[in-house]
Amino acid sequence: MNTPLQDMPSRRRPPALDVAVVGGGMVGAAAALTLARAGFATALLEARAPAPWDAQAEVDLRVVGLAPSSVMLLDELGVWTSIRAARAGPYTHMHVWDAASGAAIDFDAASEGRDRLGYIVENSLVQWTLWQALPAAGVHVLCPAEVKAFEAREDRIQLELAGGETLAASLLVAADGAASPLRALAGIGTRGRDYAQRAVVAHVVTERPHADTAWQRFLPGGPLALLPLADGRSSIVWSLPEAEAQRVLALGERAFLDELGVASDFRLGRILSSTPRAAFPLKLQLAERYQAERFVLLGDAAHAVHPLAGQGVNLGLRDVAELRDTLLDARAAGRDIGAAHVLRRYARRRRSADTLDALGFDALARIYAWQAPPLVAARAVGVRLLDHLAPLKRRLSEHAAGL
Q: What is the pLDDT of residues 162-198, one digit of tens each?
A: 989 999 999 999 999 999 999 999 999 999 999 999 9
Element (H, E) at 307: none
CA–CA dist 152, 158 (Å, integer): 6
Cα separation of 100 and 376, whole Å? 7
Distance from C-alpha of 234 to C-alpha of 118, rounded to nearest angstrom:
15
**Could you give the angle at the alpha carbon of 114 between the alpha carbons of 125 and 87, nearest 5°?**
20
Comparing 232 with 360, the larger pLDDT belongs to 232
Q: What is the structure's pLDDT at 2?
A: 40
CB 226 within 8 A of CB 263: no
Residue 184's pLDDT is 97
Q: How far apart are CA 135 and CA 133, in angstroms?
A: 6
pLDDT at 199: 95
Q: Out of 22-36, 240-254, 380-394, which region has the weakest mean confidence (pLDDT)?
A: 380-394
**Contact status, residue 388 vs residue 106, Cβ threshold 8 Å:** no
pLDDT tens-digit map of 360-391: 878 877 788 778 888 878 877 877 777 677 66
pTM here? 0.91
50-101 pLDDT tens trace: 999 999 999 999 999 999 999 999 999 999 999 999 999 999 999 999 998 8
What is the reported pLDDT for 401? 61
Is residue 5 pLDDT above 90, yes or no? no
1 pLDDT higher than 60: no
Domains and CATH numbers, the chain: 17-401 (3.50.50.60)
Mean pLDDT of 327-356: 95
Specify the pLDDT at position 268.
97
Mean pLDDT of the chain: 91
| Residue among 188, 166, 170, 169 nearest 178 (CA) | 188
Give the pLDDT score at 8: 35
What is the tens place of the pLDDT at every residue in 136-162? Answer: 999 999 999 999 999 999 999 999 999
% of the chain surpassing 70 pLDDT? 92
pLDDT exceeds 50 at position 9: no
Q: Which residues contact 133 (CB under 8 A, 6 or more apart)?
A: 33, 77, 78, 79
Residue 347 has pLDDT above 90, yes or no: yes
